[in-house]
Structure 1
Amino acid sequence: MTRPAAPKRRSPTSAFKAPVASTLEPFAMGDRITHDVYGPGRVIGIEDDIAVFVDFGSAQMRILSPYAKMTKR
């Protein structure tokens, strides 16, 4: 039986470590959005930089930050 390979550890000072840019897109009340899983919706509430509440028609969801799967339409 073989074990899966462990992920490689990178040094924090490595020259190969790519900088991570913050891609938090600001959302406002009433913004029309598209979510990769839930589809089109409208922002109905904002919880600081923690989450947004979105009405997708058939359901209302609380989407947590970072909003990787959600974009403005």
Structure 2
Amino acid sequence: MESSRATTRRHLSTSPFQRRVPAPIETFEVGDRVSHDKEGIGRITIVEGTEAVVVDLGKGRLLRVPAPFHKLHSL
């Protein structure tokens, strides 16, 4: 006997169990001003493709932030 649930289930727009679509990875350019949740404000000095960025936080402090950039926000 074939189960009636063998078909693909349709998700309702009001369902709390909707499929999550990952947010696109934010892109940065050299010279962009950014804010890091823990380290503070800085400027992008090196962009390593979509894999990582290096942030100059001032006073010789450099911070390499790997993707995804959850703690890094554009200003």
Instruction: Give TM class, smaller chain.
Output: 0.7 to 0.9
What amino acid is the match of 2:23? S
TM-score, normalised via structure 1 length = 0.73
Could you tell me the percent identity over the aligned residues? 35
Equivalent residue for 2:26?
25
TM-score, normalised via structure 2 length = 0.71
Is it true that 1:51 corresponds to 2:27 in the alignment? no
Q: Structure 2, unaligned stretches of length 5 or more?
A: 1-8, 12-16
1:1-73 paired onto structure 2 within 5 Å = 16-58=17-59, 59-73=61-75
| CA distance, structure 2, for counterparts of residue 17 and residue 66 of structure 1 | 22
What is the Cα-based RMSD across aligned positions, in Å?
A: 1.6
Structure with greater Cα Rg: 2
How many residues are aligned here? 60
Q: Structure 1, unaligned stretches of length 5 or more?
A: 1-12
Q: Deviations over 1:47-72 (max 9, x none)?
A: 01110010001310110000001110
| CA distance, structure 2, for counterparts of residue 20 and residue 61 of structure 1 | 29
